[in-house]
Amino acid sequence: MVVAIDGPAGAGKSTVARATARALDFTYLDSGAMYRTAALAYLERGGRPAERAAEIEIELGERVLANGRDVTEAIRRPEVSEAASQIAVEKGVRAALVAKQRELLDRGDWVAEGRDIGTVVAPDAALKIFLTASPEARARRRALELGADWRTVLRDQALRDEQDRSREQSPLRAAADAIELDSTDRAVEDVVGQIVALVRDARRGSLPTPAGPG
Ligand code: DC
């Protein structure tokens, strides 16, 4: 089964998705790492972003490999974040990466994290979570990761949010059947516990009702 976790940057998706996958013994899919890997290939080699995205072989796990090369740290650099957000608006880039994501999600149990997992990549996901947090909380978390001033992050974030929500290709929005969770004042374990309980409910719902005694 697929558990989709979508939402804006800084809502705590990666931490929550990783921990949920661990708790359930599911595989974690970081779709953002794919956009970042394609962006790095484009920055290094030029050409058309969609071609770079289509041809690159991406392996996700403890480390991120691009055509066999370890790019785990390189894809977190600020210029790669910026390029990832720019190439993610291109239809051809999205088509290439969504195809790779669907191929992975086709078999097994997954917690897949991104912006469009519940709406585009896996519209039939057994459980869809849209994780949010207040703009201030998200900016503070990002600032801590980046070692930057949170007010500056807040300003950039407002711009990025607007771009993500208004872009033509797969704008950031909750699927109609997604459950919205606000992580603002909640501990990670608390949010993860709630999602794990929802997965158990979803599983029960998908099983045939057991025959009662007698
Ligand atoms: O989640 P992240 O910051 O690693 O994502 C990197 C970029 O890729 C970000 O600008 C949003 C984009 N992205 C996307 O458009 N769709 C996804 N499913 C995942 C990420």
Q: Amino acid letter at 112?
A: A
Q: How far is the CA of 87 from the centre of ligand 1 (A)?
A: 10
Does the Cβ of 160 fall within 6 Å of ligand 1? no
96 CB-near residues (< 8 Å, 6+ apart): 38, 50, 53, 54
In the 8-state DSSP scheme, what is residue 61? Answer: S
Q: Cα 39 to chain center, whole Å?
A: 16
Q: How far is the CA of 31 from the centre of ligand 1 (A)?
A: 7
In the three-class reduction of DSSP (H, G, I as helix; E, B as strand; rest coil), residue 58 is classed as strand
pLDDT of residue 23: 97
2 CB-near residues (< 8 Å, 6+ apart): 105, 109, 110, 112, 117, 122, 124, 125, 126, 127
Percent of the chain exceeding pLDDT 70 equals 96
Does the Cβ of 11 fall within 6 Å of ligand 1? no
- Can you tell me which atom of ligand 1 is nearest the CA of 33? 4
| pLDDT tens for the chain, residues 1 to 214 | 999 999 998 899 999 999 999 999 999 999 999 999 999 999 999 999 999 999 999 999 989 999 999 999 999 998 998 899 899 999 999 999 999 999 999 999 999 999 999 999 999 999 999 999 999 999 998 898 888 999 999 998 898 788 888 888 888 999 999 999 999 999 999 999 999 999 999 988 765 656 666 5
Does the Cβ of 157 fall within 6 Å of ligand 1? no
Domain assignments of the chain as residue spans, ordered by start:
1-26+109-214, 33-107
pLDDT of residue 130: 98
Does the Cβ of 31 fall within 6 Å of ligand 1? yes
The pTM of this model reads 0.92
CA pair distance 111, 189, nearest whole angstrom:
16
Q: Superfamily for 1-26+109-214?
A: P-loop containing nucleotide triphosphate hydrolases (3.40.50.300)
CA pair distance 85, 155, nearest whole angstrom:
16
Residue whose Cα lies nearest atom 2 of ligand 1: it is 32
